[in-house]
Amino acid sequence: MGRTKVIITEDQSSKDKFEKLYLSYFSKMKHFAKEYVIADEDAENLVQDVFTELWERKELLDMPVNLLAYLFTSIKNKSLNYLRHKSVEQQTMTLMQEEYNLTLNMNLNALEEFDDKIFAEDSIEKIINHALDSLSERCRQIFIMNKLQGKKQKQIAEELNISINTVETQMKVAYKKLREELKDYTPLFLFLYFL
């Protein structure tokens, strides 16, 4: 009886070589990547990517190339790209945090410098009346009707026999003027704005 000839297909040969490489070097490459990217999961993902790319280019398995050098160069490059991306991400987060902290500090300073004495009833009234006096007569009338008397813009327009557009325009003028007049008393301006 003659020997049975085992025919190894090219694809089976590539698969065997790939599996051998994978089993021999996966943990070593993961350890190498982990030294740089720190997180175990990230290192594993990078090594998986390298092996996936090698399988997609499996013709390399049958070429006279130093596969070990190829694998470690690939994982080095993947790790570099990962770290660059993380660095940019971290810088962006740091910048956003710095801007947030700056806003918080500005608000803190503004409130600390805000004179508590103006909250005495007569002081608030004087400051608000002074600011309202800076408005034209019609503008002041509309603002008082809307914000202090609680009337809707449509009702004001009907009572004064003017258009709603005129009411809206006069309210915008009032806010702009009051913001200027109360620039040293921001909390009072906000109080009037959100009445």
Q: What's the mean per-residue pLDDT of the chain?
A: 83
pLDDT at 161: 93
CA distance 172 to 139: 9
Asked whether residue 29 carries a pLDDT value surpassing 90, the answer given is yes
Q: How far is CA 50 from CA 20, 26, 38, 82, in A?
A: 15, 10, 17, 13
Rg (CA), the chain: 37
CB 93 within 8 A of CB 144: no
DSSP states of 114-132 as a string?
A: S-GGGGSHHHHHHHHHHHH
C-alpha–C-alpha distance, residues 145 and 128, integer Å: 15
Instruction: Write out pLDDT tens, residues 2-20.
Output: 444 434 455 778 888 899 9
Q: Tell me phi and psi for residue 53, to 5 degrees.
A: -65, -35
Residue bearing tokens 């109360």? 182
Structural domains in the chain?
10-110 (1.10.1740), 116-193 (1.10.10.10)
Position 9 scores a pLDDT of: 53
State the pLDDT at residue 168: 93
**Average pLDDT of the residues in 51-68:** 85
Q: 106-156 pLDDT, tens per residue? A: 777 766 766 555 555 556 778 778 888 888 999 999 998 998 888 999 999
120: phi then psi, degrees, rounded to nearest 5: -65, 140
pLDDT at 188: 64
Q: What are the counts of helices (DSSP H) followed by strands (DSSP E) for the chain? A: 8, 0
Scanning the chain, the segments in alpha helix (DSSP H) are: 10-37, 40-56, 67-113, 121-133, 137-143, 153-160, 164-181, 186-193
